[in-house]
Structure 1
């Protein structure tokens, strides 16, 4: 019985150490958010879907910087104009450490984070308003690690575009669900070498 309890304690300690290891300096994060999606089930119903692939490098523990691409398309109803959104730019992410200023993990295998992005993008509505210029966003999120290197993520983000066109500013709040893969630099080099 003592061996079983000791094994359980060591396994939990090992998983906690591994969870902290993936967000350390020198590691990579690659993933994507499914920004929003809905599909009308009624006759003439519309749809909305957007993808945001992203990649980042941990410049120090808990701090990652990188880039993103945002592509989305939607229709409110079958006969409505098509709305196309796009963006490309830089992103930053800061993970909160357990116990930092009273922050506790919701679950033992996850981390809270803040994400911000800044780039160039816009929105174009078929035969209607358009904006092209600054693409920006900020919001809190949570990453639950389903394995030591794969995180299932939720993110609530204020997203906007400001610039030129018939609409000077448009913005909304997005509810993002996605995943990220956290790789040590050595694993990334191995994957690249295996692909060659």
Structure 2
């Protein structure tokens, strides 16, 4: 019984050390976002994008990092997949449990198009950028759920490959873990 109490005390002390972490200088950010884009008009396919990310707070409430956007677009017997690298900067505003979030990012993606209906296959690289405004709600001292409304441009000059881009307004939902600095 004493070992269990000691273990519980140790866990409480460790978690208390994390309580000041969130968005302070030196803290780390690990998590990701997901985007579901359902096309209309000429782009009637469905696109799913997952973007794992890592970052570090270089100042209180200011994080720099990178994400690895991975996407799959399916439309009428064809698929387009992409992988990219997207450095980002994030600013957090407020001190409440729910904070305003502003994010800017630039990067590139490598796109591969494959069609089951023809022998046409193609590859391309595209420059990407985006700017988003949203909120993060801390469900605990270290875990935040976020929603981000962003304008993204991930098009390219290839009309076939451009079908799978996320250019326009997108809704991103994310889950982030905030780790304290090693001070």
Higher relative contact order (CA 8 A, sep 6+): 2
**Between Structure 1 and Structure 2, which shows a larger proportion of helix residues?**
1
Q: Which residue number corresponds to residue 61 of structure 1?
A: 60
Superposed counterparts of 1:133-148, under 5 Å: 133-148=126-141
1:116-146 per-position Cα deviation (integer Å, ceiling 9, x unaligned): 1111214443347865231211111211111
Q: Secondary structure at the match of 1:147?
A: coil
Structure 2: distance between partners of 1:110 and 1:141: 10
Structure 2: distance between partners of 1:50 and 1:139: 16
Task: Say whether residues 1:84 and 2:81 are aligned partners.
Answer: yes
Match for residue 152 of structure 2 among 152, 159, 163: 159
Q: Which residue number corresponds to residue 13 of structure 2?
A: none
Structure-1-length-normalised TM-score? 0.66
Aligned pair count reads 154
Q: Do the aligned residues in 2 keep the contact of 1:131 with 1:167 (CA within 8 Å)?
A: no
CA RMSD of aligned residues (A): 3.1
Q: Do the aligned residues in 1 keep the contact of 2:31 with 2:53 (CA within 8 Å)?
A: yes
Task: Say whether residues 1:110 and 2:98 are aligned partners.
Answer: yes
Structure-2-length-normalised TM-score? 0.71
Q: Do the aligned residues in 1 keep the contact of 2:80 with 2:161 (CA within 8 Å)?
A: no
Name segments (4+ residues, structure 1) moved above 6 Å: none
Structure 1: distance between partners of 2:170 and 2:123: 19
